[in-house]
Amino acid sequence: MVLLASILLISLTAAIQAKWENISDIGGYIGSLISGIFLIMIAIVNLITMIQLWRKLKEKKNEDTEQQLDKDLTRNDSFGGGIMSKLCGKALSWVDSSYKMFPVGFLFGIGNYFFSMSFF
């Protein structure tokens, strides 16, 4: 299925480039614009999540012991999670430590790169 989709995409791209010579220039601008907007949106979501987490940590630090705070930090339901954890909750349930987030970010970056390079 992936092979068929790749062949279809390659033939479609070749047909469009033959018809419109400057389409790659326009596509480069559009792809960069979409990627930039998307990354800014992700930065805003991360900033909002960080502010919410910071406030919750300050509240928890005042009322809990350090051991209870450590337990709450490892359990995501205590802090509510961010927007992406609510959208992808069960799919990301295996991420229970910060070092396990690296593959998720790596795959996300590769997907963003290939999306912007393939379609535009």
Domains of the chain, residue spans: 27-119
**111, two tokens:** 């997907």
Q: How far apart are CA 85 and CA 64, in angstroms?
A: 24
pTM: predicted TM-score of the whole model, two decimal places: 0.45
The yes-or-no verdict on residue 40 having pLDDT over 90 is yes
**61, two tokens:** 């630090």
pLDDT-derived band of residue 95, with 50, 70 and 90 as boundaries?
Answer: confident
pLDDT for residue 44: 93
Q: Which residues contact 53 (CB under 8 A, 6 or more apart)?
A: 79, 82
Q: Are 86 and 78 in contact (CB under 8 A)?
A: no
Rounded to the nearest 10 degrees, how much is the dihedral formed by the CA atoms of 88, 37, 40, 25? 120
Task: Count Cβ neighbours within 10 Å for each residue of 94-113 and write b for 16 or more, e otherwise.
Answer: ebeeeeeeeeeeeeeeeeee
pLDDT for residue 78: 47
